[in-house]
Amino acid sequence: MYPFFEIFDWVFIYTFWISLLLSFFAFLWMLKKLCGKFWINTTFFFNRILIYAISVLIFSRLFYVISKWHEFKFIKNPLDFFFMNDYNFSLIWAIFWFLIVLFISIILHWLRSWKYIDASVLSLLFVLPIWYIWTLLWWQVYWSPTNYWIEILYKNSFSPVPYQIPIFPLPIVYAFIFFILFSILYIIAMFLKVRWIVWYIGLILISSTFLIMENYSWKVDYFKMEYWINFTQIMSFFLILFAFHWLYRIYKTPRVNDII
């Protein structure tokens, strides 16, 4: 695997930063495209892009540290909570906090939320396959040893994978699932004018994917050790309940203005 590429003896290019930049610009490209299709003023997103980026990085890192509290609770320097050499972040909390900041922005500007969140969720699904290809390069996500003929041997000396035999590349499964979900929801969004459906269904499908597939991940966090379910699955469960709750409320109180 390739956590970094050595250009010269002293120049290293880390795949983490490459993937982060690719994901960031792919997200912006898809978001701009969807803004045109959903009749959204692009300045609403792009004037706040720095706030979104900083809040997502800080809180996704913070909650990753919380999820691995059994390893990080002895850190003495507070800066070490955010500047470590493992480049690990909590993806579910990155999603959650982005939606929180988005909701706050929408409320402060007295805007209707449906189409803004639809565009955001679709853009997120668009970049998730890219993100999971990076996790394959950096070993952030891995399965247990299997015998399905497509296993990969993590033999690099920097690898945190505890196995010395080939294991199943779980990130490829994640990338494939999210690519399929994006394709389906994008088609639905183009033909269906009810703007609240995509983001609720998308949130349920994303969270359900995490809830199910994390059972196959052999990375262990504090909550998995204590309660047999990891932090990502716990958060996914609450996001699913949240989405179903609001779908039920919308079903009970239909409004013509929701179709925009």
Are 93 and 60 in contact by the 8 Å Cβ rule? The answer is yes
Are 213 and 177 in contact by the 8 Å Cβ rule? The answer is yes
d(CA 223, CA 24): 30
Does 258 have pLDDT greater than 50? no
pLDDT tens, position by position, 87-110: 677 777 788 888 888 888 888 888
pLDDT tens, position by position, 118-170: 888 899 999 999 888 877 776 667 666 667 777 777 666 666 666 666 777 78
User: Within a 13 Å sphere around the CA of 43, how many CA atoms are in the beta-carbon half?
Assistant: 1
Q: Give mean pLDDT, residues 248-252.
A: 76
Global confidence as pTM: 0.78
Domains of the chain by residue range? 17-258
User: Within a 13 Å sphere around the CA of 181, how many CA atoms are in the beta-carbon half?
Assistant: 28
- What the block records as the tokens of 232 is 């990502």
d(CA 224, CA 90): 15
